[in-house]
C-alpha cells in the first residue's frame, strides 16, 4: 500500500492528483483508474448522468489517523495524522470539545477539490 501525507498533495485536476513523493519529485494518481477499479471491485455501474464518480473511500475518525483510500492498482492512502492524547479523548467524551477543527478542514478540502472536478469518495465515518 502506498501512503501519501495529505500535505504533500500539490494539485487536483480533472484527471489526476499530483503530489510530492518521498524523494521530493512530483508524481500523480490517475483518477480514471481509481474509478474503474472501484467500480469493478464493488460491482458498481457508472451512469453517465451521475454528477460524481467514486474513486475510493474516506474515514475521519477521532483517533490517531484520518485517510482517503484511493483504488489505485496497489491502493493508496492519503493520510492525516491526528495528534491526540488521553486528555483530549477525555475532554471530547465529556464535553464534546473538538480539537480537530483545522485537521478536519484540511481533510475535507481534499473532498471538496475532488467534488469540484467530478469525483467523490465514499464516507466510512
The boundaries of the domain holding residue 69 are 2-123
pLDDT in tens, 12-45: 999 999 999 999 999 999 999 999 999 999 998 8
| Phi, psi (degrees; rounded to nearest 5) at 33 | -60, -45
* pTM (two decimals): 0.84
Residue 118 Ramachandran class (φ > 0 left, ψ -120 to 50 alpha, else beta): left
C-alpha 103/C-alpha 25 separation (Å) is 25
Beta strands 76-81 and 2-5 are parallel
- Looking at the 3D structure of the chain, how many domains does it have? 1
User: 3-state DSSP call for residue 84?
Assistant: coil
Note whether 71 and 41 are within 8 A (CB).
Answer: yes
Q: Quick one: pLDDT at residue 124? A: 92
- Cα separation values, 20 from 9, 10, 28, Å: 7, 7, 8
pLDDT in tens, 52-84: 999 999 998 756 789 999 999 999 999 998 877
- Cα separation values, 65 from 31, 46, 76, Å: 23, 30, 15
Amino acid at each position: 500500500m502506498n501512503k501519501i501525507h495529505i500535505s504533500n498533495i500539490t494539485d487536483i485536476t480533472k484527471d489526476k492528483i499530483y503530489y510530492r513523493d518521498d524523494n521530493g519529485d512530483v508524481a500523480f494518481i490517475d483518477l480514471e483508474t481509481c474509478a474503474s477499479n472501484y467500480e469493478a471491485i464493488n460491482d458498481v455501474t457508472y451512469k453517465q448522468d451521475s454528477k460524481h464518480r467514486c474513486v475510493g473511500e474516506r474515514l475521519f475518525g477521532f483517533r490517531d489517523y484520518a485517510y482517503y483510500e484511493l483504488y489505485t492498482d496497489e491502493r493508496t492512502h492519503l493520510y492525516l495524522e491526528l495528534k491526540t492524547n488521553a486528555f483530549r479523548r477525555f475532554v471530547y467524551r465529556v464535553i464534546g470539545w473538538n480539537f480537530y477543527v483545522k485537521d478536519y478542514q484540511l481533510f475535507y478540502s481534499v473532498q471538496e477539490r475532488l467534488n469540484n472536478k467530478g469525483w467523490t469518495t465514499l464516507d466510512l465515518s
